[in-house]
Amino acid sequence: MVPLTWYLILAAALFCVGLYAVLARRNAIAILMGIELMLNAVNINLLAFWRYTDPMVPTGQAFAAFVYAVAAAEVAVGLALIVSIYRNRETVDVDEINLLKW
């Protein structure tokens, strides 16, 4: 069986890559994609802990299912906001969307 630490380190690596995407990219949609990557890493962690710690109790799986629902809800609203901003400002570059009025 693959040791638990491998899964955890892989999830940590995915999380850090997602964090870099959120902090460093200019396109707002790319930032949302980084957030999705971070949520995926969290899901891997949850399921790895469920599998390796106590597979009889379905808490980890239930939690992962809720993370799916929350991720879907958040990406829907986030993308709606981005599309709405694009209609008003003609850009999705987050460095240019830094004034409330103009």
Partner 1 sequence: MTLQHVLFLVFGAVALGAAIGMVTARRVFHAALWMLLSFFGVAGLYVLLEAPFFAAAQLFVYMGAIGILIIFAIMLTRGMMRQRLPRVNDQWWFAGLLAAVLLGVLAWLIWQGPWPVSAAAVPEGSLHRLGTVLVDPEGYALPFEVASVLLVMSLIGAVTIVRER
Task: Check binding of 35 to partner 1 (CB under 8 A).
Answer: no
User: Tokens 């609203």, residue?
Assistant: 77
* Binding residues with partner 1: total (CB under 8 A): 71
36 is a contact residue toward partner 1 (CB under 8 A) = yes
When asked if residue 97 is in the footprint of partner 1 (CB under 8 A), the reply is no
Site residues for partner 1, 66-85, by CB under 8 A, read: 66, 68-77, 79-84
102 binds partner 1 (CB under 8 A): no
Instruction: Say how many C-beta atoms besides its own lie within 10 A of residue 12's C-beta.
Output: 13
> Given the complex with partner 1, which of 87 and 101 has the nearer CB atom?
87
Dihedrals phi, psi of 25, to nearest 5 degrees: -90, 155
